[in-house]
């Protein structure tokens, strides 16, 4: 099968551009974007896994990054986090270029929660949290995630999937990121556990101006809290637009998932 190019696969809900400008477009504000990805080509050992990806997330906004298995969602996040050097194109986070320099990118305020959550299973909840900051940061994290309080002495490996995901988010927030990249938030979680975590992300975006890119397989749940969405297919943007419009048109999303 011929690999589709961005030009022949890309459609958009309301505009003819692949660039999603969630709040800035809706409100007419001109806030500096938190994350801008332009014409990104990235992959492994020189072979592109994503081609011509464009997206933009403003402070306080959530972008749902959707698409079938192997579409290139994780690859996009890795490039945004500075873990993968682009083959071409640009990634700009908080006004500065990101190019394979993960520590500098993290210090600048971009944090990635990987799909395995990156926790230390033999350490307790407190020990996991203390790796990310001091007492003050820990207290603030527990204010946001009070469900962790009774679990502080428990080994992380003994937590439920939902508790582990809360811990992963709480620990990451202790580093005070301004851009949060979350890969497969719902991996291994029950629908109820997902429903419990999603409103917290919306609150975080609204209350702290955090920009979030959320890779999710649960389309409806992701769109329920997102401002905008991008659907990848075979490494290219197949569909992009405001989440509200995409919520109304599930058929368009289904077509994008099948690359039509
Ligand atoms: N380390 C790697 N080396 C070589 N190819 C890779 C590597 N990681 C991913 N790929 C390939 O890159 C493509 C995109 O993978 P990616 O993990 O970004 O997709 P995804 O949308 O996150 O998929 P999933 O939903 O299954 O996690 C796939 O074809 C995959 O096989």
Q: Give the CATH number for residue 70.
A: 3.40.50.300
Tally of CB atoms within 10 A around 240: 29
Q: Is 199 close to ligand 1, i.e. is its CB under 6 Å away?
A: no
Residues 143 and 230 in one domain: no
Residues 134 and 82 in one domain: no
Domain assignment present for residue 8? The answer is no
In the predicted structure, residue 22 carries a pLDDT above the cut 50: no
**From the CA of 31, how far away is ligand 1's center (Å)?**
33
Q: Is 44 close to ligand 1, i.e. is its CB under 6 Å away?
A: yes
Q: Residue 33: which domain range?
A: 19-109+178-257
Q: What is the pLDDT of residues 164-210, one digit of tens each?
A: 999 999 999 999 999 999 998 888 788 888 888 899 999 999 999 99
Q: What is the pLDDT of residues 97-153, one digit of tens each?
A: 887 677 778 888 999 999 889 899 999 999 999 999 999 999 999 999 999 999 999
Please, what is the average pLDDT of the chain? 86
**From the CA of 71, how far away is ligand 1's center (Å)?**
7
Rounded CA-CA distance 126/65 in Å is 31
Half-sphere CA count of 260, side-chain side, radius 13 A:
6
Nearest-atom number in ligand 1 for the CA of 76 is: 18
**From the CA of 208, how far away is ligand 1's center (Å)?**
32
Rounded CA-CA distance 144/231 in Å is 30
Nearest-atom number in ligand 1 for the CA of 43 is: 12
Domain assignment present for residue 214? The answer is yes
Q: What is the pLDDT of residue 12?
A: 41
Residues 53 and 141 in one domain: no
In the predicted structure, residue 232 carries a pLDDT above the cut 90: yes
Closest CA to ligand 1's atom 25:
69
In the predicted structure, residue 26 carries a pLDDT above the cut 60: no
b (16+ CB within 10 A) / e for 82-108: bbbebbebebbbbeeebebeeeebbeb
Q: What is the pLDDT of residue 258?
A: 85
Residues 245 and 191 in one domain: yes
Q: Is 3 close to ligand 1, i.e. is its CB under 6 Å away?
A: no
Q: Is 186 close to ligand 1, i.e. is its CB under 6 Å away?
A: no
For the record, the structure tokens of 240 come out as 């992009």
Q: Is 48 close to ligand 1, i.e. is its CB under 6 Å away?
A: no
């Amino acid at each position: 099968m011929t690999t589709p190019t961005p030009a022949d696969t890309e459609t958009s809900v309301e505009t003819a551009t692949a660039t999603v400008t969630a709040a800035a477009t809706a409100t007419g504000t001109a806030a500096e974007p938190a994350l801008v990805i332009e014409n990104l080509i990235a992959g492994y050992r020189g072979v592109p896994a994503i081609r011509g990806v464009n997206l933009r997330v403003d402070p306080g906004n959530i972008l749902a990054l959707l698409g079938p298995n192997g579409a290139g969602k994780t690859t996009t996040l890795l490039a945004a986090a500075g873990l993968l050097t682009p083959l071409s194109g640009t990634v700009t986070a908080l006004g500065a270029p990101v190019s394979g320099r993960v520590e500098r990118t993290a210090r600048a305020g971009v944090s990635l929660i990987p799909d395995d959550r990156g926790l230390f299973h033999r350490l307790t909840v407190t020990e996991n949290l203390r790796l990310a900051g001091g007492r003050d940061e820990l207290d603030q994290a527990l204010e946001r995630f009070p469900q962790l309080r009774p679990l502080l002495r428990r080994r992380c490996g003994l937590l439920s999937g939902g508790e582990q995901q809360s811990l992963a988010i709480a620990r990451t927030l202790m580093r005070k990121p301004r851009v949060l990249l979350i890969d497969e938030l719902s991996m291994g979680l029950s629908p109820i556990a997902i429903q419990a975590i999603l409103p917290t992300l919306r609150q975080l975006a609204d209350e702290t101006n955090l920009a979030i890119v959320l890779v999710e397989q649960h389309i409806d749940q992701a769109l329920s809290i997102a401002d905008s969405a991008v659907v990848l297919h075979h490494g290219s943007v197949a569909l992009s637009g405001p989440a509200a419009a995409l919520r109304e048109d599930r058929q368009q999303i289904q077509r994008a998932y099948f690359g039509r």
